[in-house]
Amino acid sequence: MRTSIATVSLSGSLTEKLTAAARAGFDGVEIFENDLLASPLAPEEIRARCADLGLTVDLYQPMRDIEAVPEEQFARNLRRARHKFALMDRLGADTVLVCSSVSPLAEADDALAAEQLSRLADLAQDFGVRVAYEALAWGRHVSTYDHAWRIVESAGHPALGTCLDSFHILSRSTGPEDLDGIEDIPGEKIFFLQLADAPPLGMDVLQWSRHHRCFPGQGGFDVAGLVRRVLRTGYAGPLSLEVFNDVFRQAEAGPTAVDARRSLLVLQEEVGVADLPAPLAPTGIAFTELVTRDAEPVTALLGRLGFTRTARHRGKPVELWEQGDARILVNTGPAAPADARHRSGGRTSVDGTTLAAIGLESPDPAAAARRAEALLAPVLPRRRGAEDAPLDAVAAPDGTELFLCATGRPATPDWRADFEDLPHPAAGPRDLRVDHVALTQPWHHFDEAVLFHRAVLGLAARESVDVADPYGLLRSRAVTNADGGVRLPLTVGAAPGDGTAHARHIALATDDVVAAARRFTEAGGRLLPIPANYYDDLAARFPFEDGELETYRALGILYDRDEHGAFRHCYTHTVGRVFFELVQRDAGHQGYGAVNAPVRLAAQHAVR
């Protein structure tokens, strides 16, 4: 199916918007009137620019407050329409969107609305234009898709059809039966289909629509369910994204357009009109890679956590540190060239150590990379160095490198083969594993990051939680595989500030966090000090065994509990932009200690 995007969904000048849409692979655009009015290009030039870029102009919009008005007002509306239709001829657009009226002049008179829309369609026909009538969810008298369709149907004009917009429909829907009427509309009378999702917000619908729409798959609506119904009518027009969103208005148009196209690809897969390589969820974290100019602070920290240096890369200044099943690469080389092409997320940092890459253990790395590529993830060079084993890797939206890899599987290239063993003392039996890797995201890429990790990597998104930071608010949403072997909480930071909210961390699971915390401090490590008030509150919230709370208080261990059991955790100090967490997770507990995060963040600010 053809795909299209409304210029209002992207930031920048009209030229920037068109370029971004074309680069991301859209077939067409909806041109928003404001974008045209503000452009120095004549309509003919815009038309030529679109043609050069391989874009069709699928819709011109919006025309407002047209129908069901007194005759003298309607005469003025027709005069306005004549100008717009002439403009559309110059622009090469053959469909105009007319939103249901919000004017106080409009009357609750469907027969009048139908008659005037029919006269508008007569005029449109003279210009070779079709009119697509859309019910705004806040329209004065017409606010539902079925009402708009009844008016269009009774007008019975060949140049008049309806425009369905998933936001207006789903924001007002109270159950699937509200949508049954869609399939009563003949497909050829649906002149246009606009798609947007939105998070469930319980607010005024106009404000919700104008500020919080997002791309399908990023909110809470069943957009795919709606599209399935529309396709059953025989609708053959484009799938077009129309997203009004405060963040996208500010973010760079290029990445937003790619995010938008990815969302449509996933939607097309869901409704069965696109054939993508199947998702293959990773089964575990093979390694995490830290990049630093000065390895000493971070390797000292790793040593205190019980890690030993076990191997060294054959061709590059990268060391492998291991403890139990946890593996960490410490890279003191220059940032990979891939970096420059992507947005700085984990890597670019003035203050040293960053978490720049993750190795995801994949059931079939090459197949997983093919899906990633089909979903527009930038594929990184398979070999980082001439002698390296081939490794499939893609860049996440923020530039973090994601290696899709195999560890110790004879038939598959093994990242470990690039490393030569170093003599090392036998490690003490601490048996750490990676519980989760928390990836802070740039503020304007959060929804994109969640969709990327879900769609590209085949992970499931958990619920979104808000966390208060002393200097802002964080939003956090974990993506995980089915058995919890991969847990990646994605967090969007507050204002830049001192960077506390932007540090990433590796959480190491242990069966005994008290013992692990003691060994760490006995080895000279410093745990994040937690205020006494926190423990006084814990005592009020939960019953503890004798001495248990005092132990937590002495070490700085935080505590949470749900119906499945407890979550005990503590934090190391921060090195550059990375810190570590020690975690004891009772089987079945699915959280990350979000209730404790404000205390942890405040403590980290205090240390700085």
CB of 463 to Mg ion, least distance (A): 28
Report yes or no: 354 and 291 within 8 Å, Cβ to Cβ: yes
Determine whether the annotation assigns residue 550 to a binding site.
no
Distances (CA, A) of 446 to 337, 471, 536: 24, 19, 35
Token pair for 222: 């069943």
CB of 163 to Mg ion, least distance (A): 7
- Least separation in angstroms between residue 507's CB and Mg ion is 43
Query: What is the distance between the alpha carbons of residues 601 and 605, in angstroms, rounded to a whole number?
Result: 6
Q: How far is the CB of 84 from Mg ion (least distance, A)?
A: 17
Which residues sit at the interface with Mg ion, rule CB under 5 A?
165, 194, 242
| Residue 162 within binding range of ligand DHB, rule CB under 6 A | no
448 labeled part of a ligand binding site: no
- Nearest residue (beta carbon) to ligand DHB: 62
> Can residue 65 be called a binding residue for ligand DHB (CB under 6 A)?
no
Which entry of ligand DHB, Mg ion, none binds 61, CB below 5 to 8 A by partner kind? ligand DHB
In what side-by-side order are the strands of the sheet with 326-331? 392-395, 401-405, 354-361, 284-291, 326-331, 318-323, 308-313, 419-421
Q: Is 209 near ligand DHB (CB under 6 A)?
A: yes
Site string for ligand DHB, 183-202 (x = CB under 6 A): -----------x--------
Peptide bond into 62 cis (omega under 30): yes
The least distance separating Mg ion from the CB of residue 75, rounded to whole angstroms, comes to: 27
Q: Which is nearer to Mg ion, 118 or 209 (CB)?
A: 209
Q: What, of ligand DHB, Mg ion, none, does residue 159 touch, CB below 5 to 8 Å by kind?
A: none
d(CA 80, CA 248): 31
Among 28, 62, 219, 282, binds ligand DHB (CB under 6 A): 62
Pick one of ligand DHB, Mg ion, none as the site partner of residue 441 (Cβ within 5 to 8 A by kind): none
Interface residue with ligand DHB among 18, 50, 55, 97 (CB under 6 A) is: 97
Cβ neighbors of 73 (< 8 A, separation 6 or more) are 105
Query: By CB under 6 A, how many residues form the interface with ligand DHB?
Result: 11
What does 239-288 look like in DSSP terms, one character per residue? Answer: EEE---BHHHHHS-HHHHHHHHHHHHHHHHHHTTS---PPP----EEEEE
CB closer to Mg ion, 165 vs 398: 165
Measure the CA–CA gap between 60 and 117, rounded to whole angstroms: 17
Q: How far is the CB of 581 from ligand DHB (least distance, A)?
A: 44
**Residues 567, 591 contacting (CB under 8 angstroms):** yes
- 288, exposed or middle or buried, with CB in 10 Å at 0-12, 13-18, 19+? buried
Helix (H, G, I), strand (E, B) or coil at 514: helix
Q: How many residues does the chain have?
A: 608
Q: Coil, strand or helix: which one is 162?
A: strand
Output the residue with the shortest Cβ distance to Mg ion. 165
One residue of 93, 99, 253, 456 binding ligand DHB per CB under 6 A: 99
- Contact between 501 and 474 under an 8 Å Cβ cutoff? The reply is yes
280 closest CA partner among 404, 403, 399, 395: 404
Cα→Cα distances 66→30, 72, 117, 122, 165, Å? 20, 12, 8, 14, 19
Is 107 annotated to bind ligand?
no
Residue among 58, 165, 197, 319 that touches ligand DHB (CB under 6 A): 165
Residue 61 binds to ligand DHB (criterion: CB under 6 A): yes
Place of tokens 């690809």: 265
Residues 235-264 that bind ligand DHB (CB under 6 A): 242
The correct pick among 134, 197, 259, 469 for binding ligand DHB (CB under 6 A) is 134
The partner in contact with residue 19, picked from ligand DHB, Mg ion, none with C-beta cut-offs of 5 to 8 angstroms by kind, is none
Would you say 183 is a known binding-site residue? no
Min. distance of Cβ 247 from ligand DHB in angstroms? Answer: 17
To the question of whether residue 45 is assigned a binding role by annotation, the answer is no
Q: Which is nearer to Mg ion, 57 or 516 (CB)?
A: 57
**Residue 210 makes contact with ligand DHB by CB under 6 A:** yes
Q: By C-beta, is 241 or 311 nearer to Mg ion?
A: 241
Question: Least distance from C-beta 196 to Mg ion, angstroms?
Answer: 8
Query: Is the distance from CB of 606 to CB of 595 less than 8 angstroms?
Result: no
| Smallest separation (angstroms) from ligand DHB to the CB of 59 | 9
415 phi and psi angles, rounded to 5 deg: -55, -30
Instruction: Name the nearest CA neighbour of 68 among 120, 26, 33.
Output: 120
Residue ranges of the binding site for a divalent metal cation = 134, 165, 194, 242
Q: Can you give the binding site for ligand DHB, defined by CB under 6 A?
A: 61-62, 97, 99, 134, 136, 165, 194, 209-210, 242
